Amino acid sequence: MTFTLHGINLWFIFKNVRLIYILSIFNYRLFYVVFSTLKIVHHFVYNPESRLAVSEDGSSDSFSFPGVFLWEDFISEKEEKELINTMDQDQWNQSQSGRRKQDFGPKVNFKKRKVHVSTFSGLPASSQKLVLRMQREPTLAGFQPVEQCNLDYHPERGSAIDPHLDDSWLWGERLVTVNMLSNTTLTMSLEDVHVAVRLPRRSLVVIHGEARHRWKHAIHREDVHQRRVCSTYRELSAEFLPGGQQAELGAHLLDIALSFRGTPI
């Protein structure tokens, strides 16, 4: 059907005007969706000496950033080489986001809150002297790790870990990571504020308190420049310690973990 006026096809004009209107509405909505999801991120860098997060833009803005402890040169070059050689003798399993991993810990179903110990044989022997060294630091007084996870990052695999908070049902207050083979950056984020924590090669970092429970942490792909291996150690939460509802299970887990006879599960 066609409608004409003075030889002009009105139906053709109507269809095209309607199409232009629909496209304009679509583009407006697309513009709104894109720009409503964009947000300004404020970038800071953690200064381990002052324990302040200092603005990256050259301004004098800064704020106290508690809950991060950095121990540079926690291990020597010789120890690093020995640890990596020992790890590479065991199988690395594929993990998420281009990482490989080795687990020394109980099997855990966090959704159902179930812990299975049948395959858990303890932390590796190579970690025993490291744990003793950790415990001499006041920030880590009484630290008894019940789980160790080795992670292998490489830029060719696009290795990264997205911003996240660690579980707090089973895992306790302090998260301890030893960084090996290359420097990297741990990015802490809370809404529109990002704090870069520089992790030198062979350093140890402890995340606890507000940094542990409120600030998400991540390793971004652009901060993995060459092979990086880290060992993360976790302790038990209060529920699994003396006086807690699952203290008996916690004691059993610690007995296994601190035997230091473990193999990857």
Q: What is the CA radius of gyration of the chain?
A: 26
Whole-angstrom distance, CA of residue 24 vs CA of residue 12: 18
Q: Are 153 and 220 in contact (CB under 8 A)?
A: no
Q: What is the pTM of this model?
A: 0.85
Q: Are 163 and 216 in contact (CB under 8 A)?
A: yes
In single-letter form, the type of residue at position 236 comes to L
Q: Are 67 and 60 in contact (CB under 8 A)?
A: no
> Which pLDDT score is estimated for 16?
52
Give the least confident one: 14-23, 116-125, 160-169. 14-23
Q: Are 73 and 113 in contact (CB under 8 A)?
A: no
Q: Are 188 and 215 in contact (CB under 8 A)?
A: yes
Whole-angstrom distance, CA of residue 212 vs CA of residue 133: 22
Taking CA atoms, 22 is separated from 12, 13, 15, in Å, by 15, 14, 11
Mean local confidence (pLDDT), 22-26: 46
> Which pLDDT score is estimated for 31?
46
Report residue 83: phi and psi, to 5°.
-65, -45
CA atoms within 13 A on the CB side of 152: 17
CATH number for the 42-257 domain, one of 3.40.50.1780, 3.30.1490.150, 3.40.50.300, 2.60.120.590?
A: 2.60.120.590
State the pLDDT confidence band at 25, using cuts at 50, 70 and 90: very low
Percent of the residues in the chain that have a pLDDT greater than 70, as a whole number:
86
H-type helices in the chain, by residue range? 10-37, 77-89, 128-135, 209-213, 247-257
In single-letter form, the type of residue at position 142 comes to G
Residue 53, both tokens: 């997060």
Residue 24, both tokens: 């304009």
Mean local confidence (pLDDT), 148-168: 98
